[in-house]
Structure 1
């Protein structure tokens, strides 16, 4: 899932925020519409690559494993770029930031038509990942710009989070029609068209710029570069680990080691700075560690939707066209999850929202864990809709509570919160996908071994199945030996598919157990807080700090 950087009013600035000036209804709808278009532009750019990887590999004349580097290249800069972008827009002005960002993205969209091989495709995708990062910020800015302060968090935040989250799922809905006879160029034309529309909207609807403040120091760039190397290495490791397999290639270990060394150096540098880019001590506080674990657990269990159903149906021979209705339902459920928050969005209700989200995820994962080799997309619409709804229902409240906690300490803490949110969403997404795929591969091999042991020539069911398959193939194959060989091959193919479904069921059930455990932990945490408030209340003169999302 794509992740936004931070709400615009959270940008670190020494100046006081400008007073709110109400807009007309027409202008308000224009800015909200611009936010939706820009948010979908960013989300679709991310979804087009991951959705159509096999087809893109065919267009480039490479294997799917080699084409996976396109997804890694796009995701590498996504986790670290927003840290730098927040300071860039503060120092150089929001309006200039918006105009330059969208111009660069349009130029990269044009460059995609020059892709001729895998090397050029990886390079363009890396730059596309960098240039699409500001679009999440712009989507936030345009959504919150026309809203009065009391509605920015309550209305704007859920709407823009749902829009950005729906983009990758919407990409799966429209990709089959776009690919058509034009292949990857169909996706390029769509991306270019959206970039051009976004460019027009940015120039037609200017954002209000706060006074510029010089906030970028040389050591900020050093720390950011180390963080970028660290996050990039972790992204590559988790995305490619399950593809090349963790212990089969030595370079995976070196990449992960480099990432750990870079992040360690960044932490050491930040701990010894008077004005750090990130407040490491605050990030290591119990409240922030709790928030980080909460966000990471949610991101891991939500990986079931992006790494589970689509790949399982691919194994079962379901085409992208047949998956369109399923992902249309998921897209609608994602949007509804954000809209459902609007009437009830308040900081004190965040734990309740998270209880509901965990219950929905556990329910959906448990329903999916009963899949069979005959399961088709229509049978998973309800369960996947529940999980999609829960994802939107969780993210916006979590971000609101985290922003409130950071703002209570001062604008300088916003970057520290942003790194927590981004690392859990971007890196958590890559980690969840990698671990999910690793579990699937391991369990599939185990189940296939068990099934193969049962498929012996002495087994009456196996003999009957071979005879049945041979009878069906008899009109097409005359040679008896070849006929039996093909019948055995079909049975082995069915056994492999059955092993994959059993492996996915194991992963779905594990997701259910993790969500259920998190739900129980949250209930116990709330019960502890209730006991503390009832039997050991704080004196009225002592203020309480806002606690991050549970």
Structure 2
């Protein structure tokens, strides 16, 4: 379809489209049959836009300690930087879908790409914590728009028979940001600290903006969809989710029982979200269809998504934290993250090109099984474990993380198509919230368990250390011997040896704690795998029982008929 018809009014333009070229709903672009060179341009543009939208947050998440030193802030202040991005990103889809429906794709593209360019440029002039926090919040809103825009471009790159593959690849790209950031950040930080990365991000964003201006999306239908109560719901839902994200993101750092504001924030989140759900429950045309979302099938799906996002923290928080404890820096982890990125690419490709709409639970169960295997392998780590020993286990987890997203999304899309397109916004909102909140909940779970188990193992190990043990005395002499040429006072020398031994005990306790965390995650993933497998097989078991029952009833009916004859 030549783009010279795109200037026509929608009512005339839609008449020129074949049935498979028409959009599924208002706000989505038409999908005309493009030439292959045009499809390639759409694919490249979509890849670039989706990657740029999540790269900045991936870089900050992966290098938050480095940024903490650069800004001269505390650990707690640094933890707010990735959390505030998630707070704004998780809520934006509540209004983005309707914004596209009412105001069209063109305005949507200009606002969010323009906002992201301004955000990237602002980083070059920001040199204090407060401004950086504001910029990250705006980046979260702009990133949500760019993720959606990337999906829409990638869908254009595929023929009608394979269009769902573009959707799966588009959503899979969002998980590539952290490994890509891990690979490029060490070199950029050496060039010019964070300013070098901000320049790189701005350059990528400007290229993506130029590509979007050249490779335009086809027209979409516009219609009036906003209602006054939509803004009431958003005013309740957005701060409620933001407070929940703050509790999950900061709880393990300020500690759950030590900071009173965590309790007040949790109460506020419960009150606001409950009020939002009450408003939506009683609406004739709800923005979030609570009745539909609380159906048994949807609750099982959301439970599986939340579980997988939580157990995936084994890789994002657990493995990285463990390698940091044993003394490895970002430069030494590049090989591992190269393997993780390759596994994610493979997982996304397998998910897209083996999609079976009748067996969507199967790849989710496989993903949970792979996570269980990978986490169990990691639970045998020691102080001598290095990235090379984690390649296989982390590749399995990375493959699973990319593999599950597509089928999980398709389950919701299928239910939307069969039960009413008006539920699409409800599903997209909950899918986005669970992805974001699930990631924070997983990090909170992993971090809290690690801290608790580290204290336990530290006490256990310290209880066995006594000055009456000849091995302990020998170890103290070996450790203090490193300072014997500079410290002549025997008391100070013994104190230095004791301090070194204490650090080694703490390091060993941390390793044992991470092993416990990996084992717990493995068990959770295994239980989830069994649960999803049973959910997958239950309809088949029911069909088999019904067939057997029908077969048993058939001879009885034949015998009665013969007796009558």
Q: TM-score range by the shorter chain?
A: over 0.9
Structure 2 partner of 1:126: 137
Of 487, 490, 498, the match for 1:488:
498
Any idea what the Cα deviations from partners look like across 1:363-405, whole Å, max 9, x if unmatched?
1000000011111111111111100001111111110121111
**Which residue in 1 is equivalent to 2:253?**
243
| Cross-structure match for 2:99 | 88
Contact 1:242 1:438 (C-alpha < 8 Å) held by counterparts: yes
- 1:13-45 deviation per Cα after TM superposition (whole angstroms, max 9, x unaligned): 3x9x87642212211111101111111112211
1:101 equivalenced with 2:81 (yes/no): no
**Within-5 A mapping of 1:315-330:** 315-330=325-340
CA distance in 1, matches of 2:258, 2:481: 42
Q: Secondary structure at the match of 2:33?
A: coil
Q: Distance in 2 between matches of 1:398 and 1:415?
A: 16
Q: Give the whole-Å Cα distance in 1 for the aligned partners of 2:176 and 2:354.
A: 21
Within 2, Cα distance between the matches of 1:18 and 1:199? 18
Query: 1:164 offset after TM fit, Å?
Result: 1.8
Aligned with residue 77 of structure 2, among 43, 66, 69:
66
- Partners of 1:365 and 1:509 within 8 A in 2: yes
- 8 A contact 2:310–2:442 mirrored in 1: yes
Q: Note the 1:23-172 alignment, pairs <5 A.
A: 23-153=34-164, 155-172=165-182
Please state whether the residue corresponding to 1:519 is helix, strand or coil: helix
- 2:364 is the alignment partner of 1:371: no
Equivalent residue runs for 1:223-238 within 5 Å: 223-238=233-248
- C-alpha distance 31-474 of structure 1, shift in aligned 2 (>3 A): same
Note the alpha carbon deviations across 1:426-451, whole angstroms, 9 max, x for none: 11111111111111111111111111
Structure with more relative contact order (C-alpha pairs < 8 Å, separation 6 or more): 1
Equivalenced residues, count: 530
- Distance change >3 Å, CA 446–CA 18, structure 1 → 2: closer
**1:490-509 alignment to 2 at 5 Å?**
490-509=500-519
Look up the match of 1:187.
197
- Aligned-pair distance for 1:82? 1.3
Pairwise CA distance, 1:532: 0.6
TM-superposed CA distance for 1:58, in Å, is 1.1
**Quick check: 2:30–2:219 contact (8 Å CA) kept in 1?**
no
Q: 1 CA distance for matches of 2:224 and 2:293?
A: 25
How far apart in 2 are the matches of 1:538 and 1:343? 35
The answer to whether the 8 Å contact 2:179/2:340 transfers is yes
Corresponding residue number in structure 2 for 1:299: 309
- Cα distance in 1 for residues equivalent to 2:23 and 2:487: 70
Q: Which residue of 1 aligns with 2:228?
A: 218
In structure 2, distance between residues paired with 1:371 and 1:11: 50
Match of 1:417 in 2: 427
CA 1:537/1:124 → structure 2, altered by over 3 Å: closer, same or farther?
farther
CA distance in 1, matches of 2:30, 2:77: 52
Q: Which residue of 1 aligns with 2:394?
A: 384
| Cα deviation 1:309-349 (Å, max 9, x = unaligned) | 11122222211111111111111110110112333212113
The counterpart of 1:22, out of the listed 33, 40, 51, is 33
How far apart, CA to CA, are the structure 1 residues paired with 2:183 and 2:346? 17
Q: Is this contact kept in 2: 1:227–1:263, CA < 8 A?
A: yes
Q: 1:256 to 1:9 in 2, by over 3 A?
A: farther
Deviations 1:452-482 (A, max 9, x none): 1111111222112112212333234333222
1:167-218 deviations in whole A, cap 9, x for unaligned?
1221111111111152221221121111101110110111112121111111
Question: Which of the two has higher C-alpha Rg?
Answer: 2
When residues 526 and 147 of structure 1 are mapped into structure 2, their CA distance, relative to the original with a 3 A threshold, is: closer
Mark the runs of 5 or more structure 1 residues left unpaired by the alignment: 1-7, 540-550
> Aligned-pair RMSD on alpha carbons?
2.0
* Distance (Å, rounded) in 2 between the aligned partners of 1:105 and 1:215: 26
Runs of 5+ in structure 2 lacking a partner? 1-20, 550-565
Is 1:332 the equivalent of 2:342? Answer: yes
Aligned partner of residue 347 in structure 1, secondary structure: coil
- What is the CA–CA distance in structure 1 between the aligned matches of 2:184 and 2:486, rounded to whole Å? 38
Q: Distance in 2 between matches of 1:9 and 1:473?
A: 77
Q: Equivalent residue for 2:283?
A: 273
Q: 1:420, CA displacement in angstroms?
A: 2.3
CA distance in 2, matches of 1:202, 1:319: 38
Q: Retained in 2: the 8 A contact 1:53–1:64?
A: no
1:123-151 per-position Cα deviation (integer Å, ceiling 9, x unaligned): 11111111111110011011002322221
Partner of 2:10: none
Distance 1:455 1:346 in 2: 58
Q: Normalising by the residue count of structure 2, what TM-score does the alignment of the two structures yield?
A: 0.91
Q: Do 1:227 and 1:266's aligned partners in 2 also have CA atoms closer than 8 Å? A: yes
Distance 1:18 1:374, change over 3 A: closer
The 1-side partners of 2:351 and 2:261 are apart by: 45
Q: CA separation in 1, counterparts of 2:224 and 2:535?
A: 42
Of 297-306 and 517-526, deviating more is: 517-526
- Judging changes above 3 Å, is the alpha-carbon distance between structure 1 residues 488 and 88 closer, same or farther for their aligned structure 2 residues? same
Taking the aligned partners of 1:210 and 1:262, their CA distance within structure 2 comes to 34
Residues 1:518 and 2:528 are matched in the alignment: yes
1: CA distance between counterparts of 2:441 and 2:157?
A: 37
Tell me, in whole angstroms, the C-alpha distance in 2 between the residues paired with 1:20 and 1:89.
Answer: 16
CA distance in 2, matches of 1:194, 1:132: 14
Superposition deviation, residue 242 in structure 1: 0.3
Q: Shift in Å at residue 75 of structure 1?
A: 1.2
Instruction: State yes or no: 1:197 paired with 2:197.
Output: no
What is the Cα deviation at residue 536 of structure 1?
A: 2.4
Tell me the secondary structure at the aligned position of residue 312 of structure 2: helix
